[in-house]
Amino acid sequence: MITVKNFVNGNFVSVEETIEDINPATGEIIANIPRSKANDVEEAVHAAETARNSWSNLSLDERRGWLEKIANALESRSEDIAKLESLDTGKPIKLARAVDAARSVANFRFFADFSKDYTEEKFEMDDATNHVIFKPVGIAGLITPWNLPLYLLSWKIAPAIVMGNTVVAKPSELTPLTANLLAEVIHDVGLPAGVVNIVHGLGHEAGQTIVAHPKVNLISFTGGTITGKKVAETASPMFKKLSLELGGKNATIVLDDADLDSAIPEIARSGFLNQGQVCLCGSRILISNNIWDKFIEKFVNFIDGMKVGDPSSDESDLGALVSFAHRDKVESYIHLAQREGGEILCGGERPNLASPFDKGAFLRPTVISNLDYQSRTATEEIFGPVVTLHPFESEEEAIEMANCTDYGLAGSVWTSDLVRGKKISEKIETGMVWVNTWLHRDLRVPFGGVKDSGVGTEGGRWSLGFFSQPVNICVKD
């Protein structure tokens, strides 16, 4: 049993009440974590405020050096990250190693390196020079979800602190363990006290208190669209800098000239990576009528062969969903799909697993066809191992179908004609589109959605811009 404490002002501190943390693959309680209240958040904000001046007075190079130290120390604990992430989320350990552990280290290393040129911009006039400098915003409130816990927390902490802000972060109460590991790493490397504070607890308590705190100047939130609306309702009238990375219902468009043998494993990855619990997952697959039968046969065969089970086994392609409540939600969408006339081509039920995994929140990967593309199942975010298939006649129809949801995060197009692929991508109303690939990330590029998928853009210089305040100093010659 792991005991998790808050990390405030460089110390690990207990709070009065705790919450149980459950391993969703077995139902076992694995940790007790703090249920922080307003006074606990207050202490963290006070620590962040006290550390503000000295941290922002360090040079950019000095702060970059701290990021490198954190990256190296995190890297030496990569296997611990993978194990804890797999235990806490139910995801396969091979995924936690390749994605969660690797990317968490890479985030610190990337921003340490990439920020070196983000110093000052100059705009000359005939008789004056404008110097644009980048100041810290102040105290950053960072709120993160359970699907990619340390990956997303480090994606926010690294640019926030390198630009001179101090941080109060609240990880998801469902997956607190790797945030705790990061606190240990930060403690071990000796980062100045109060620069990063981590407060555990419930969203409507600790999370809401951070968002509403008058001394927290900036909020970066990743999570569900409904929660994002609540965060915006609180933060916007307080004129806080706000970034909301919310949900998606991303379309995967398969044109008739796609090379199905190479595309299908990638389309399957895009539908089912992390049990379909990635905001970028391609959960609506739009398929040209000309290849509909061929696609279905190959795709369903591939998905049926995916192995669901013990997350610690290298054999498992899918592990457990993050919680029993979340599996209930995903299953309720499978039932809705049946009521909406959908035909389940594979999955749709829980797998038969041996003890202790018979008690876990597992679900077989599910493929559904025969649904109207405007049905609720095909337009609402399910965030689980469920994809729907829809035929189209023409490119125009595919684009109309892709754009018919309230979301606008990502999408992918599969074709052997790259010009055609790029042309279609330009018409898709999302923040990101991949052609013949998916989740192929370059950390320098903008990341963010349109419509109900959020506001604000992170990634590369967009993150550095968000976590800093540009100030123009115009000097007359």
* Binding site residues, ligand TXE, CB under 6 A: 143-147, 170, 172-173, 203-204, 207-208, 211, 222-224, 227, 230-231, 245-247, 279, 329, 381, 383
CB of 386 to ligand TXE, least distance (A): 12
Give residue number: closest CB to ligand TXE.
203
Q: What are phi and psi of 249, to 5 degrees?
A: -140, 75
- Amino acid symbol at 228: G
Quick one: 96 or 246, whose CB is closer to ligand TXE?
246
Catalytic entry in 85, 205, 266, 279: 279
CB of 132 to ligand TXE, least distance (A): 32
DSSP 99: I
Residue 266's φ and ψ, nearest 5 degrees, are -75, -40
Rounded-to-integer distance, Cα 413 and Cα 222, Å = 25
What one-character DSSP code corresponds to residue 290?
A: G
Identity of the residue, 48 or 143, whose beta carbon is nearer to ligand TXE in the bound complex: 143
Instruction: Between 172 and 430, name the residue whose CB sits nearer to ligand TXE.
Output: 172
Please say which residue, 89 or 415, places its beta carbon nearer to ligand TXE.
89
Least separation in angstroms between residue 445's CB and ligand TXE is 18
Examine the residue annotation and report whether 245 is marked as an active-site residue of this protein. yes
- Smallest gap from Cβ 168 to ligand TXE, in A, equals 12
Smallest distance, Å, CB 408 to ligand TXE? 13
Structure tokens that stand for 75 in this block: 């890297």
CA distance 323 to 284: 23
Q: How far is residue 29's CA from residue 2's CA, in Å, rounded to a whole number? A: 9
Closer by beta carbon to ligand TXE, 33 or else 185: 33
- Interatomic CA distance for residues 179 and 63, integer angstroms: 20
Tallying the residues shown for the chain, one arrives at: 477
413: β partners: 253, 435
Residue pair 16/23 in contact (Cβ under 8 Å)? The answer is no
Which CA distances in Å does 415 have to 86, 260, 294, 428?
35, 9, 15, 15
- Angle of helix 60-75 relative to helix 102-114, nearest 10 degrees, comes to 160
Report the residue number, 41 or 345, with the smaller CB distance to ligand TXE: 41
Nearer residue to ligand TXE within complex by CB, 77 or 156: 156
Give me the catalytic one of 43, 173, 245, 381: 245
Which strand ranges, in their side-by-side order, compose the sheet holding 29-34? 2-3, 29-34, 18-22
CA distance 419 to 422: 5
Question: In the bound complex, what is the minimum distance in angstroms from residue 43's beta carbon to ligand TXE?
Answer: 18
Active site (annotated) includes residue 121: no
Give the CA radius of gyration of the chain: 23
**Distance of closest approach, residue 415 Cβ to ligand TXE, in angstroms:** 27
d(CA 442, CA 437): 13
User: So which residues are the catalytic ones?
Assistant: 245, 279
